[in-house]
Amino acid sequence: MKVLLVGNGAREHAIAENLARDCELYCVMSKKNPAMAQLSKDYWICNIEDPVSVESVIKGKDFDLGFSSPDATLAAGVSDVLEEHGMLVASPSKAASRIEWDKSYMRSLHENYHVGGTPKHEIVTNIKDATRVIKDYELVAIKPLGLTGGKGVKVSGDHFVNLDQKLEYTASLLEKDGSALIEEKLIGEEFTLQAFCDGSSIALMPPVQDHKRAFEGDSGPNTGGMGSYTTGTNLPFLNSSDLENAKKIIQDAVYALKKDGHPFKGILYGQFMATKESVKLIEFNARFGDPEAMNVLALLNGSLTDVFLSMAEGQIHPPTFSSDCTVVKYLVPDGYPTEPKKDLPVEINGAEIEKTGASLYYASVYENEGKIFTSSSRSFGILGRAQTLDEAEKVAESACAYISGSLWHRKDIGTSALVERRVAHMRKLRGIE
**Which residues of the shown chain bind ligand GLY in the complex (CB under 6 A)?**
150, 210, 225, 285, 289-290, 292
Closest C-alpha among 268, 267, 234 to residue 250: 268
Stretch that binds ligand AMP, among 39-47, 178-186, 299-307, 325-333 (CB under 6 A): 178-186
Closest approach of ligand AMP to the CB of residue 156, in Å? 8
For ligand GLY, the closer of residues 153 and 360 by Cβ is: 153
Per CB under 6 A, does 211 bind ligand AMP? no
Amino acid letter, residue 115: V
Determine the distance from the C-alpha atom of residue 387 to the mean position of all C-alpha atoms in its chain, rounded to a whole number. Answer: 24
Closest approach of ligand GLY to the CB of residue 432, in Å? 28
359 vs 383: CA distance, rounded Å = 5
Burial (Cβ within 10 Å: 0-12, 13-18, ≥19) of residue 109:
buried
For ligand GLY, the closer of residues 266 and 405 by Cβ is: 266
Amino acid letter, residue 182: I
299 binds, among ligand AMP, ligand GLY, none (CB under 5 to 8 A by kind): none
Among 17, 80, 122, 183, binds ligand AMP (CB under 6 A): 183
For ligand AMP, the closer of residues 34 and 221 by Cβ is: 221
Stretch that binds ligand AMP, among 25-33, 65-73, 184-192, 363-371 (CB under 6 A): 184-192
Dihedral sign of CA atoms 308, 47, 369, 375 in order: negative
Among 141, 250, 281, 299, binds ligand AMP (CB under 6 A): 141
340 vs 376: CA distance, rounded Å = 5
Among 222, 228, 374, 377, binds ligand AMP (CB under 6 A): 222
Cα pseudo-dihedral 378, 141, 173, 94, rounded to 10? 60
388 vs 158: CA distance, rounded Å = 32
292 binds, among ligand GLY, ligand AMP, none (CB under 5 to 8 A by kind): ligand GLY
105-112 contact pairs (CB < 8 A, 24+) = 106/283, 106/284, 107/181, 109/253, 109/256, 109/257, 109/260, 110/253, 110/256, 110/281, 112/256, 112/260
Stretch that binds ligand AMP, among 6-14, 89-97, 180-188, 391-399 (CB under 6 A): 180-188
211 binds, among ligand AMP, ligand GLY, none (CB under 5 to 8 A by kind): none
Closest approach of ligand GLY to the CB of residue 285, in Å? 5
Closest approach of ligand GLY to the CB of residue 30, in Å? 17
183 binds, among ligand AMP, ligand GLY, none (CB under 5 to 8 A by kind): ligand AMP
Q: How many binding residues for ligand AMP (CB under 6 A)?
A: 15
Dihedral sign of CA atoms 26, 27, 32, 35 in order: negative
Per CB under 6 A, does 72 bind ligand AMP? no
156 binds, among ligand AMP, ligand GLY, none (CB under 5 to 8 A by kind): none
Closest C-alpha among 41, 23, 43, 42 to residue 32: 43
User: What does the DSSP 8-state code read for residue 186?
Assistant: P
For ligand AMP, the closer of residues 143 and 329 by Cβ is: 143
190 binds, among ligand GLY, ligand AMP, none (CB under 5 to 8 A by kind): ligand AMP
For ligand AMP, the closer of residues 51 and 224 by Cβ is: 224
46 vs 32: CA distance, rounded Å = 10
181 vs 170: CA distance, rounded Å = 9
Determine the distance from the C-alpha atom of residue 244 to the mean position of all C-alpha atoms in its chain, rounded to a whole number. Answer: 21
Per CB under 6 A, does 348 bind ligand AMP? no
**Pair 42, 63: CB distance under 8 Å:** no
Per CB under 6 A, does 119 bind ligand AMP? yes
290 binds, among ligand GLY, ligand AMP, none (CB under 5 to 8 A by kind): ligand GLY
For ligand AMP, the closer of residues 127 and 282 by Cβ is: 282
200 vs 263: CA distance, rounded Å = 7
User: What does the DSSP 8-state code read for residue 30?
Assistant: S
For ligand AMP, the closer of residues 153 and 304 by Cβ is: 153
Burial (Cβ within 10 Å: 0-12, 13-18, ≥19) of residue 62:
exposed
Footprint of ligand AMP (CB under 6 A): 119, 141, 143, 150, 153, 155, 183, 185-186, 190, 212, 222, 271, 282-283
